């Protein structure tokens, strides 16, 4: 017993020393340099996502990939990313976010190499699944490291806003980077560019990022498996339904599997001894609402990106022209993110979310009523920029709400849950836009239907913020 107590005392002393060292190291590193280091993975992932959208036509022509296959190229990445994010959070708790962050970058680099070498559409989709696995590992770890790096709440809010702006800038640069690479070197270069960025991120993290305490945690592998099956079945229904028929045996079976596994997952989360999310978070209205907002925002944002990429390319634009035309629309998010950081630090998280979503809804309705195939580009880009600036203001408020409610004790789990919900929203949004494109060949009908779905998503997000997000407090 005495040996046990001495061991425990030594363990707690070591953990105290580790925490003190962590704080000291984080303070010695310039805040913006630390921020850039921890944003590297997300920057790489966002450039990849937006650049791939500009390369869709070239991928289709090179590998003979149909529209359904293009949806899988985009959503295959999102599928494993969303389904395994919670596992990434659990692994970050068990092995430390720094180790998992670097490991995730390594997996993403491997997936990118396989994408660049893919000989067929199916091989490309499989490699995109591996990329999603890597992103699922480094995403929650990056937010967790960011939360530990800044002690002051106001500073953390500003850094989250700046972090979102960096991600927004990378998203804005993605179409241009993708367009230039595809135009000059072919679509495979879109994936090769991830290799040096990922390697730089691994090196900077090793040198600059402090090690954070580990926490013993059950991985709940059955729950993770249920989540993977549920999302895979849902993806199959949404993507293949318009092609195979909504009443076909395969689609009906996948629909049943999606509902059954989702129900089992919810039941296991509520009654299990080791849920994926701590029950304190699971039962907090503001946390659940902010996650719902994340789902709906990504549904609208990534559905819009997929739709407008194909809309611009069907008019005869090549990859470079498409990238150039998408730049102002994507840059608008960065402008909104930068503005939001200061607003959130002063007035809290609710006002930026509420008014940002309201303006986004108004502009989505304007595009629903006024956007047609012959609409001038300047009018399209004006409406999209105004909408995306407003949504860019809302996003950091949403992230700050989740991380504030979670606190340091649940930072890994909260970051994983938020990003999982956001990626599920992106997956469903792209799949639904694919369904709209299959429904009718006429863009005069496609655009109102698509922006009707986007407007509905913003209505739902606005209701969640108005009803449930007040003054967020740590649980």
Give residue-wise pLDDT tens across range 19-43: 444 444 444 666 677 777 777 887 8
463 within domain boundaries: yes
**Domain identity same for 107 and 253:** no
97 within domain boundaries: yes
CA distance 49 to 361: 24
**Cα radius of gyration rounded to whole Å, the chain:** 22
Give residue-wise pLDDT tens across range 314-358: 777 887 888 888 888 888 887 887 788 778 777 778 889 999 999
Residue 8 pLDDT greater than 60, yes or no: no
* Range of lowest pLDDT (180-194, 241-255, 312-326, 406-420): 406-420
**Domain identity same for 374 and 229:** no
pLDDT of residue 295: 94
Q: Which two tokens stand for residue 466?
A: 């108005």
**Domain identity same for 262 and 200:** no
**Domain identity same for 74 and 156:** yes
21 within domain boundaries: no
Q: How confident is the model at residue 9 (pLDDT cuts 50, 70, 90)?
A: very low
Backbone phi, then psi, for 32, in 5-degree steps? -70, -35
Asked if 433 and 309 count as a contact pair (C-beta separation under 8 A), the reply is no
Give residue-wise pLDDT tens across range 80-89: 888 887 788 7
17 within domain boundaries: no
Q: Which two tokens stand for residue 29?
A: 């590193």
Give residue-wise pLDDT tens across range 372-429: 777 888 888 999 999 999 999 998 888 888 888 877 677 767 777 887 888 889 889 9
pLDDT of residue 376: 85
**Domain identity same for 145 and 56:** yes
162 within domain boundaries: yes
Residue 474 pLDDT greater than 60, yes or no: no
353 within domain boundaries: yes
Q: How many domains does the chain have?
A: 2
pLDDT of residue 124: 95
475 within domain boundaries: no
CA distance 179 to 173: 10
Give the DSSP per-residue string, 36-99: HHHHHHHHHHHHHHHHHHHTHHHHHHHHT--HHHHHHHHHHHHHHHHHHHHHHHHHHHHH-HHH
Range of the domain at 263: 221-273
For residue 245, how many other CB atoms are within 10 A of its CB?
12
**Domain identity same for 306 and 392:** yes
Q: Which two tokens stand for residue 229?
A: 């099956």
Asked if 154 and 31 count as a contact pair (C-beta separation under 8 A), the reply is no
**Domain identity same for 289 and 437:** yes
For the chain, how many residues are written?
475
Which carries the bigger pLDDT value, residue 416 or residue 310? 310
pLDDT of residue 21: 42
- The pTM of the whole model exceeds 0.85: no
**Domain identity same for 100 and 232:** no
């Amino acid at each position: 017993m005495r040996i046990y107590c001495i061991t425990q005392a030594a363990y707690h002393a070591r953990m105290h020393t580790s925490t003190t060292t962590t704080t000291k190291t984080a303070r010695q590193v310039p805040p913006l340099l630390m921020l850039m280091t921890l944003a590297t993975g997300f920057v790489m992932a966002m450039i990849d996502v937006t650049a791939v959208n500009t390369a869709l036509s070239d991928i289709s022509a090179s590998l003979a990939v149909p529209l359904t296959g293009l949806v899988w190229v985009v959503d295959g990445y999102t599928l494993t990313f969303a389904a395994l994010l919670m596992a990434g959070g659990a692994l970050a708790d068990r092995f430390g976010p720094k180790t998992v962050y670097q490991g995730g970058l390594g997996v993403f680099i491997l997936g990118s190499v396989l994408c660049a070498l893919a000989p067929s559409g199916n091989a490309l989709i499989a490699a995109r699944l591996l990329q999603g696995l890597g992103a699922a590992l480094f995403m929650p770890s990056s937010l967790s490291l960011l939360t530990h790096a800044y002690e002051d709440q106001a500073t953390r809010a500003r850094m989250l806003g700046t972090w979102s702006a960096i991600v927004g800038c990378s998203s804005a640069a993605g179409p241009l980077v993708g367009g230039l690479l595809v135009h000059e070197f072919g679509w495979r270069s879109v994936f090769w560019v991830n290799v040096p960025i990922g390697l730089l991120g691994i090196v900077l993290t090793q040198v600059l990022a402090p090690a954070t305490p580990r926490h013993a945690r059950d991985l709940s592998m059955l729950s993770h498996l249920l989540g993977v099956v549920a999302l895979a079945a849902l993806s199959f229904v949404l993507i293949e339904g318009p092609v195979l028929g909504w009443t076909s045996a395969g689609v009906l079976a996948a629909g049943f599997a999606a509902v059954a596994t989702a129900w089992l997952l919810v039941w296991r989360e509520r009654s299990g001894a080791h849920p994926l999310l701590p029950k304190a978070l699971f039962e907090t209205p503001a946390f659940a609402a902010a996650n719902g907002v994340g789902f709906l925002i990504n549904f609208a944002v990534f559905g819009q990106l997929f739709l407008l990429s194909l809309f611009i390319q069907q008019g005869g634009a090549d990859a470079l022209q498409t990238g150039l035309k998408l730049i102002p629309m994507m840059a608008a998010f960065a402008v909104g993110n930068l503005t939001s950081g200061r607003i959130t630090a002063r007035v809290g998280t609710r006002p930026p979310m509420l008014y940002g979503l309201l303006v986004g809804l108004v502009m989505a309705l304007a595009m629903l009523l006024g956007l047609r195939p012959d609409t001038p580009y300047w009018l399209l880009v004006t409406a999209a920029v105004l909408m995306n600036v407003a949504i860019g203001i809302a996003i950091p408020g949403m992230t700050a709400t989740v991380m504030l409610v979670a606190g340091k004790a649940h930072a890994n789990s909260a970051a994983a849950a938020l990003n999982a919900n956001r990626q599920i929203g992106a997956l469903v949004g792209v799949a639904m836009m694919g369904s709209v494109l299959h429904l009718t060949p006429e863009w005069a009908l496609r655009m109102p239907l698509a922006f009707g779905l986007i407007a509905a998503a913003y209505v739902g997000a606005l209701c969640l913020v108005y009803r449930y997000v007040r003054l967020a407090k740590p649980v």
